[in-house]
C-alpha cells in the first residue's frame, strides 16, 4: 500500500484527532519505531477510543501496523514496562510501507548517504572517501548520484533529503557559510543538492534540508541517544579538525536568529594558548581537537588524513599506561573541562553529551575534565551537571534524517 500523505494526519489540521495521531506517530518514532498500544496510550494520556481513532488513521495511511497478537510491554519502555503484569497489549510498529528519507553527512574525509525510516532506523548506507580540499561541483555530483542510487533501491516513497555539513548553515535558505576545513568558500548547499535531483521524477522538487553537522548530531542524541529526556542538553564533539557543538533548549534545537548559533569551538579553553583561525588564542577548537591531542603527546598533527585514528591511538596508549600519552590525555581533558565550564555558566544545561574523540577522552581521563569543570563554573558547583558519552555511532547522519522527517512528524 502506498501511504497517503496528501491530507493532514488525523483529518483537519489542528483538530484533536490530528493532534492525537501526530503525537502518537512522534511517540512511536522516539521509541525507535515499536511500542505496545498500552505504552502509547499511557504516554499520550488520552482515552482508548482516541487512541483507536488515531491508530486507525495511521494504519489506513500505511504509516504504522498493529500486531493483533497481544504483547507484553516492551522491556524498559514506559512506566511499568517489563513488569510482566497486566493484560498483554498489541504491538504498534512502523509499517514497511511508510515513507523514507535520505540522509547525507559530508565530512572532511568521508561522504555517507543513507536511507532512514520512522523510528530512526537506518535501512542502508553508502560510504565513499573524500579527498583533501575536494572540488565543490564534483562533490555535489557525488551526493546526487548516491541519493539517486539509494532512493531507487529503497522502492519506497521518499519525502525528503537531509544534509549535514561541517559548516554554519543559514536557516532561511540552506547556505553553508564557511566550510573552511573543506577549503571551500560559502556555498548555496540546498540549491546545489536540489539541482542534482532535478532530473529524476521521483526526486524532483523533493524538500532538501541542510544543517550544521554538530547541531544535527545534538538533535539526534536528544531524540534517540544519550540526551533523551534532557531539557537543556549541551552537545560537544570532535571528529577530525576543530570542535563543534549544539544546544537543545526547552526540548528544541537552538539555532539562533539566523542558524549560526553554538560555534562552541571558539570558547576560550586556555587563555594565551595556541592561535586560532578566528584571531583569538586558546580556543577549544585549537586546544582539544585531534591535532591538539597529537601535539600534546609529541606526535605529528600532519597530514590531515587519518587524524582521528592517530589521536585514538594516543588514547589507547594512555589507557595502557604510556606516561607521555597519559599526560597528553590529562592535559587535553582539563582544557575540555575549562571550555565546558564557560559554556555551563552561559547556558545552564542539565546534561552534557560528548561525542567523537571527546567521548573516548572522557572514558580515559575523566578526572581532569571534571575538576576543571567544577573549578571554572559557579553554576556547576551549585547543581552538578552530568557529563556522558554520546550513544549513537553516526549522530550527524541520524540528525540529518531527523531534519527531513520533521515535516511529517509536525
Q: Do 209 and 215 touch, CB atoms closer than 8 A?
A: no
Tell me the pLDDT tens digit for each residue of 142-161: 999 999 999 999 989 999 99
- 236 with 355, same domain? yes
361, 240: one domain:
yes
**Cβ(400)–Cβ(111) below 8 Å:** no
Same-domain pairing of 120 and 233 = no
Let me know whether 364 and 241 are in one domain: yes
Taking residues 228-239, what's their average pLDDT? 94
Q: Which of 52, 70, 94 is the last residue of a domain?
A: 94
Is the domain of 249 the same as that of 301?
yes
Tell me, yes or no, whether 210 lies in a domain.
yes
On whether residue 320 sits in a domain, the answer given is: yes
Q: Does position 42 have pLDDT exceeding 70, yes or no? A: yes
Q: Kindly report the average pLDDT of the chain as a whole number.
A: 90
Structure confidence at residue 15 (pLDDT): 60
Say if 6 falls within a structural domain. Answer: no
Q: Using CB atoms within 10 A of its CB, is residue 207 exposed (0-12), middle (13-18) or buried (19+)?
A: middle
Whether the predicted pLDDT of 71 surpasses 70: no
Residues 303 and 234 in one domain: yes
Query: Does a structural domain hold residue 195?
Result: yes
The whole-number pLDDT of residue 380 equals: 72
Task: Please check whether residues 119 and 132 belong to one and the same domain.
Answer: yes
Tell if the pTM clears 0.85, that is, is over it. yes
Same domain, 273 and 385: yes
* Predicted confidence (pLDDT) per residue in 289-300, tens digit: 999 999 999 999
Whether 179 maps to a domain, the answer reads yes
CATH number, domain of 301, equals: 3.30.420.40
Cα–Cα distance for residue pair 386/390, rounded to 1 Å: 12
185 and 329 fall within a common domain: no
Domain boundary among 72, 94, 116: 94
pLDDT digits over 327-362, tens only? 999 999 999 999 999 999 999 999 999 999 999 999
Whether the per-residue pLDDT at 77 is higher than 60: the answer is no
In a domain, 310, yes or no: yes
Q: 507484553: which residue's cell?
A: 72
Note down the domain range covering 376: 226-391
| CA-angle at 227, arms to 109 and 369, nearest 5° | 75
- Whether 80 maps to a domain, the answer reads yes
Number of separate domains in the chain: 3
Q: Kindly tell me if the per-residue pLDDT of 395 is higher than 80.
A: yes
Q: Of the residues 62, 94, 126, which one is the last residue of a structural domain?
A: 94
**Is the predicted pLDDT of residue 7 greater than 70, yes or no?**
no
In a domain, 1, yes or no: no
Query: 88 pLDDT exceeds 70?
Result: no
Question: Which of 4-8, 11-15, 33-37 is predicted most confidently?
Answer: 33-37
Q: Categorize the per-residue pLDDT at 81 as very low, low, confident or very high, splitting at 50, 70 and 90.
A: very low
Longest dimension (CA), the chain: 67
Residues 350 and 237 in one domain: yes
Amino acid at each position: 500500500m502506498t501511504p497517503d500523505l496528501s491530507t493532514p494526519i488525523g483529518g483537519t489540521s489542528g483538530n484533536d484527532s490530528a493532534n492525537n495521531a501526530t503525537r502518537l506517530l512522534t511517540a512511536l518514532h522516539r521509541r525507535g519505531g515499536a511500542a505496545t498500544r498500552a505504552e502509547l496510550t499511557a504516554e499520550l494520556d488520552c482515552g482508548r477510543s482516541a487512541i483507536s481513532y488515531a491508530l486507525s488513521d495511521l494504519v489506513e495511511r500505511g504509516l504504522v501496523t498493529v500486531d493483533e497478537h497481544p504483547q507484553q510491554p516492551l522491556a524498559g519502555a514506559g512506566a511499568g514496562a517489563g513488569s510482566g503484569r497486566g493484560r498483554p497489549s498489541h504491538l504498534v510498529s512502523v509499517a514497511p510501507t511508510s515513507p523514507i528519507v535520505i540522509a547525507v553527512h559530508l565530512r572532511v574525509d568521508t561522504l555517507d548517504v543513507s536511507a532512514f525510516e520512522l523510528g530512526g532506523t537506518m535501512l542502508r548506507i553508502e560510504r565513499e572517501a573524500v579527498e583533501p580540499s575536494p572540488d565543490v561541483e564534483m562533490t555535489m555530483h557525488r551526493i546526487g548520484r548516491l541519493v539517486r542510487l539509494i532512493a531507487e533501491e529503497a522502492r519506497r516513497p521518499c519525502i525528503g533529503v537531509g544534509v549535514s555539513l561541517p559548516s554554519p548553515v543559514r536557516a532561511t535558505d540552506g547556505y553553508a557559510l564557511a566550510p573552511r576545513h573543506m577549503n571551500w568558500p560559502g556555498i548555496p548547499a540546498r540549491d546545489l543538492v536540489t539541482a542534482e535531483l532535478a532530473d529524476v521524477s521521483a526526486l524532483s522538487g523533493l524538500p532538501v534540508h541542510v544543517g550544521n553537522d554538530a547541531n544535527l548530531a545534538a538533535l539526534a542524541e536528544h531524540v534517540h541517544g544519550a540526551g533523551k529526556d534532557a531539557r537543556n542538553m549541551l552537545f560537544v564533539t570532535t571528529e577530525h579538525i576543530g570542535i563543534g557543538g549544539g544546544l537543545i533548549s526547552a526540548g528544541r534545537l537552538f539555532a539562533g536568529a539566523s542558524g549560526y548559533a553554538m560555534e562552541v569551538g571558539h570558547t576560550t579553553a586556555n587563555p594565551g594558548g595556541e592561535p586560532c583561525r578566528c584571531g583569538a588564542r586558546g580556543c577549544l577548537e585549537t586546544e582539544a581537537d585531534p591535532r591538539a591531542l597529537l601535539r600534546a603527546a609529541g606526535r605529528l598533527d600532519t597530514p590531515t588524513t587519518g587524524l582521528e585514528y592517530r589521536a585514538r591511538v594516543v588514547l589507547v596508549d594512555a589507557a595502557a599506561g604510556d606516561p607521555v600519552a597519559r599526560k597528553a590525555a590529562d592535559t587535553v581533558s582539563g582544557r575540555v573541562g575549562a571550555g565546558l565550564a564557560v559554556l555551563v555558566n552561559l547556558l545552564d544545561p542539565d546534561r552534557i553529551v560528548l561525542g567523537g574523540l571527546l567521548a573516548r577522552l572522557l572514558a580515559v581521563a575523566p578526572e581532569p575534565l571534571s575538576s576543571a569543570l567544577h573549578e571554572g563554573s559557579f553554576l556547576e558547583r551549585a547543581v552538578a551537571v552530568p557529563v556522558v558519552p554520546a550513544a549513537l555511532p553516526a549522530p550527524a547522519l541520524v540528525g540529518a534524517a531527523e531534519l527531513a522527517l520533521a515535516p511529517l512528524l509536525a
